[in-house]
Amino acid sequence: MQNSLGNPKNTIEIIQKYEFAFQKKFGQNFLIDTHVLEKIIDAAGITKEDCVVEIGPGIGTMTQYLAEYGGRVVAVEIDANLLPILGETLKDYPNVQIINDDILKVDMNRLVQEYNKGRPVKVVANLPYYITTPIIMGLFESGVPIDNITVMVQKEVAQRMQAGPGTKDYGALSLAVQYYAEAYIVANVPPNCFIPRPNVGSAVIRLTRYQEPPVKVDDPLLMFRLIRASFNQRRKTLQNGLNNSPEVSFTREQIMSAIGSLGLSPSVRGEALTLEQFGRLANYFTRNA
């Protein structure tokens, strides 16, 4: 690829040419490793049939690859200072559309309707670490038609998304992600693969959207309230966590009955429960409380 920004020399040249100042508030770290870029493209399974939504294209490093392999790329960039740079780095790619907006404020269902006639898109991003969870959960909860989300995130967050019951990384994020998608860590990425270098390690994770959630729950919102309550006070038993939570309005007796209905000990902690067990717990309350 000519003038690939995966080459650090080209990245430095374009940053200096435009005298670009990195904005800490946007969590800007530009990828400068072609092997990692290729792994992301491969993991997302990008083909000429695909419409790809990229969140935070930066100077267009990943966007160039997506445009080469994909059919159409819609890149949403919050920083208006990057628009002139993107105008130059992507000038040879007529299949790229840049939208200057905050992804958390974009009507994604409308975007997918406009650019892909409502068919499922693939989402790719090098996400600012401070805003990873709101972006990913926002995409899932909005019901946007998505095939998969392949993103660069803080390594610790990727581990939490993939974690199973009883592990130190397991928590509300693990369960929320795993309700919507199958999580698979593609690669760990060290700090020296970015300009500027972040202070933490990163990882690429692919979240393949389920057609149907793996558990049948009458009231998913109730299930997520129970999950949050059980992990907000991690050291407490599940019973005490639910009983003390302002999000849960059931009596101690109802909570004890619900836990007993799963065949679990009154002393069990939330971190021991699987997604399926949290689903059954929610269904018990819906049907009996």
Q: What is the pLDDT of residues 36-87, one digit of tens each?
A: 999 999 999 999 999 999 999 999 999 999 999 999 999 999 999 999 999 9
- In the predicted model, is pLDDT for residue 289 greater than 80? no
In the chain, ranges of CATH 3.40.50.150 domains: 8-209
Residue-level pLDDT at 286: 96
Contacts of 174 (CB under 8 A, 6+ apart): 160, 161, 162, 163, 164
What are the pLDDT digits (tens) for 121-180? 999 999 888 889 999 999 999 999 999 999 999 999 999 999 999 999 999 999 999 999
Look at residues 70, 38, 39 and name the one whose alpha carbon lies nearest to residue 54. 70
pTM: 0.93
- CA 24 to chain centroid, in Å, comes to 20
CATH class of 8-209: alpha beta
- Mean pLDDT to the nearest integer, 260-287: 96
Q: Which CATH number fits domain 220-288: 1.20.1440.230, 1.10.8.100, 3.30.70.20, 3.40.50.300?
A: 1.10.8.100
Residue-level pLDDT at 187: 97
Residue 219 near residue 282 (C-beta atoms within 8 A): yes
Burial class (CB in 10 A: 0-12, 13-18, 19+), 174: buried
Residue-level pLDDT at 130: 82
Residue 99 near residue 91 (C-beta atoms within 8 A): no
Minimum mean pLDDT range among 20-24, 147-151, 257-261: 20-24
Confidence of residue 25 (pLDDT cuts 50, 70, 90): confident
Residue-level pLDDT at 23: 83
C-alpha separations of 159 from 35, 165, 185, 191, 271 in Å: 21, 13, 8, 17, 15
Report d(CA 99, CA 272) in Å as an integer.
43
- In the predicted model, is pLDDT for residue 220 greater than 70? yes
Residue-level pLDDT at 6: 81
Q: Pick the more confident residue, 252 or 1.
A: 252
Confidence of residue 2 (pLDDT cuts 50, 70, 90): low
Residue-level pLDDT at 1: 61
What are the pLDDT digits (tens) for 183-215? 999 999 999 999 999 999 999 999 999 999 999
In the chain, ranges of CATH 1.10.8.100 domains: 220-288
